[in-house]
């Protein structure tokens, strides 16, 4: 009898330990891939969600045709992020899951109004991935990006993340924005997505990531920089890692791939004046040389390096000055450097930093070394010469 009793107890324990009483099957979830935040025409907050549709995704992988999107975009309008999330949940037969969200797109109209109320929900919701990339949509709405049907990936939210890394601006995550928003010596900056097709083939399929939105301490967008200025901004900030550039010289143009880009900032007080010294370093590889300069000759290469560095230093100083004068927001983090190097004096500056930043003197020194000139030495045919 004892053996039978032991057997029954073991059997019951086995049954209890082998089951998952509160399991959630994968088929019970609706995977939330991307979010868009906008302002509706009547001034209310609008939230859109890009939700994966597994059945359509499977048919696309099996050759079901390019017309299928493998996702659906749902939109809700209300007053709070939490309320909008529930409205979207009410439209779905599955529980929304935010663990796979890759990006957030903010319409420019909402960005200029301010994001403090929007960001509060992200800081409290434990389901939020702080590595989620965040963008501002230039002259448009966030939901426009969610509706892009990219030929490279069924989810435009993932395309934006990948494109941000390859477009030279690096990736800016929600975590980075929240950290900058809580510090006194730096103001947030976000990459900008622009939907501007150059031809019919690009319409509703392609977007650009080439600008940077500048915010104040109240998380209101106050302006933007684009092109070279956006790259120089992120280089000084320490975010930029590599870039392709073409430099115009008197002798012609030279195209370079610049990598290992780094920065260091030193600050000091000169009486009542605040000064900052920025040093930018990196290595360059020549991709194209449309001049008669023979870069394989050490003397010529050193001369061109010096000239290029002078041009770059002057241009970066102009970009910094432009942001100081036009926007007055320290998106570079000079204030944080003053805080680290002069913690006691920083106490006197922190509450007035937005007024002080435009007045600091900034000097830039660039040390870019050309390490590779390519597989050939001189041009195959010199400029002005006949073949």
- C-alpha dist (Å) from residue 75 to 88, 90, 146, 148: 7, 11, 11, 15
- C-alpha dist (Å) from residue 27 to 22, 33, 357: 15, 16, 53
pLDDT tens per residue, range 34-66: 999 999 888 899 999 999 887 655 555 555 444
- C-alpha dist (Å) from residue 272 to 108, 202, 205: 38, 54, 54
Q: Inform me whether the pLDDT recorded for 69 exceeds 70.
A: no
Question: What pLDDT does 172 receive?
Answer: 82
pTM score, two decimals? 0.85
Highest mean pLDDT among 78-82, 194-198, 378-382: 78-82
Handedness of CA 107, 108, 110, 116 (dihedral sign): positive
Tokens 């805080």 belong to which residue? 339
Beta partners for 232?
Answer: none
Burial of 386 (0-12, 13-18, 19+ CB in 10 A): exposed
Tokens 């204030």 belong to which residue? 335
CA distance 189 to 185: 13
CA distance 278 to 313: 9
Give the pLDDT mean for 336-341.
Answer: 94
CA distance 291 to 249: 9
CA distance 338 to 79: 40
Banded model confidence at residue 70, pLDDT cuts 50, 70, 90: confident
Cβ atoms 160, 146 nearer than 8 A:
no
Cβ atoms 383, 292 nearer than 8 A:
yes
Mean pLDDT of the chain: 85
Domain map (residue ranges) of the chain: 28-221, 227-376
Q: 358: which DSSP letter?
A: G
Q: Inform me whether the pLDDT recorded for 109 exceeds 70.
A: yes
Banded model confidence at residue 385, pLDDT cuts 50, 70, 90: low
Question: What's 227-376's CATH class?
Answer: alpha beta
Tell how far CA 138 is from the center of its chain.
14
More confident: 30 or 59: 30
pLDDT tens per residue, range 135-193: 999 999 999 999 988 888 889 888 888 887 776 666 688 899 999 999 999 999 999 98
Q: Inform me whether the pLDDT recorded for 221 exceeds 70.
A: yes
Among the ranges given (34-38, 121-125, 238-242, 320-324), the one the predictor scored with the smallest mean pLDDT:
121-125
Highest mean pLDDT among 79-88, 116-125, 340-349: 340-349
Banded model confidence at residue 359, pLDDT cuts 50, 70, 90: very high
Banded model confidence at residue 19, pLDDT cuts 50, 70, 90: low
CA distance 323 to 331: 9
More confident: 146 or 13: 146
Give the pLDDT mean for 336-350.
Answer: 93
Q: What is the DSSP string of 294-332?
A: -TTSHHHHHHHHHHHHHHHHHHHHHHHHHHHHHT----S
* Three-class SS state of 354: helix
Question: What pLDDT does 350 receive?
Answer: 92
Q: What is the DSSP string of 178-246?
A: HHHHH-SS---EEEEEE---SSGGGTTT--EEEEEEEE-TTS-EEEEEETHHHHHHHHHHT----EEEE
Cβ atoms 49, 32 nearer than 8 A:
yes
To the nearest whole percent, how much of the chain has pLDDT over 70? 84
Banded model confidence at residue 105, pLDDT cuts 50, 70, 90: very high
Beta partners for 191?
Answer: 212
Give the pLDDT mean for 320-343.
Answer: 95
Q: Inform me whether the pLDDT recorded for 206 exceeds 90.
A: no
pLDDT tens per residue, range 301-314: 899 999 999 999 99
Question: What pLDDT does 265 receive?
Answer: 96
Q: 100: which DSSP letter?
A: T
Give the pLDDT mean for 87-105.
Answer: 89
């Amino acid at each position: 009898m004892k053996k039978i009793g032991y057997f029954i107890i073991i059997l019951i324990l086995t049954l209890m330990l082998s089951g998952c009483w509160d399991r959630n099957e994968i088929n019970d979830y609706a995977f939330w891939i991307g979010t868009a935040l906008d302002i509706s025409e009547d001034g209310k907050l609008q939230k859109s969600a890009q939700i994966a549709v597994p059945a359509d995704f499977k048919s696309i992988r099996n050759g079901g045709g390019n017309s299928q999107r493998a996702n659906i975009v749902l939109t809700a309008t209300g007053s709070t992020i939490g309320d909008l999330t529930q409205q979207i949940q009410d439209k779905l037969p599955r529980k929304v899951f935010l663990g796979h969200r890759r990006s957030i797109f903010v319409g420019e109209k909402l960005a200029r109004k301010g994001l403090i109320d929007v960001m509060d929900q992200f800081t409290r919701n434990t389901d939020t991935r702080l590595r989620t990339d965040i963008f501002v949509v230039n002259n448009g709405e966030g939901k426009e990006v969610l509706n892009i049907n990219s030929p490279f990936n069924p989810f435009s939210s993932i395309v934006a993340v990948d494109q941000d890394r390859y477009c030279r601006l690096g990736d800016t995550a929600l975590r980075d924005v929240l950290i900058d928003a809580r510090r006194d010596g730096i103001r947030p900056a976000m990459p900008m997505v622009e939907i501007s097709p150059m031809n019919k083939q690009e319409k509703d399929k392609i977007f650009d990531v080439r600008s940077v939105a500048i915010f104040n301490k109240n998380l209101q967008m106050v302006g933007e920089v684009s092109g070279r200025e956006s790259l120089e901004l992120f280089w000084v900030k320490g975010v930029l890692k590599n870039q392709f550039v073409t430099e115009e010289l008197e002798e012609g143009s030279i195209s370079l791939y610049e990598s290992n880009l780094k920065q260091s900032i030193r600050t000091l007080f000169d009486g009542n004046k605040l000064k900052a010294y920025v040093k930018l370093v990196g290595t360059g590889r020549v991709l194209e040389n449309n001049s008669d300069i023979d870069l394989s000759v050490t003397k010529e290469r050193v001369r061109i390096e010096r000239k290029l560095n002078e041009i770059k230093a002057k241009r970066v100083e102009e970009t910094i000055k432009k942001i100081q004068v036009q926007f007055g927001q320290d998106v570079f983090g000079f204030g944080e450097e003053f805080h680290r190097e002069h913690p006691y004096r920083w106490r006197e500056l922190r509450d007035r930093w937005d007024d002080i930043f435009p007045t600091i003197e900034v000097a830039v020194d660039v040390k870019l070394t050309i390490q590779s000139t390519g597989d050939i030495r001189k041009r195959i045919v010199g400029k002005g010469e006949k073949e």
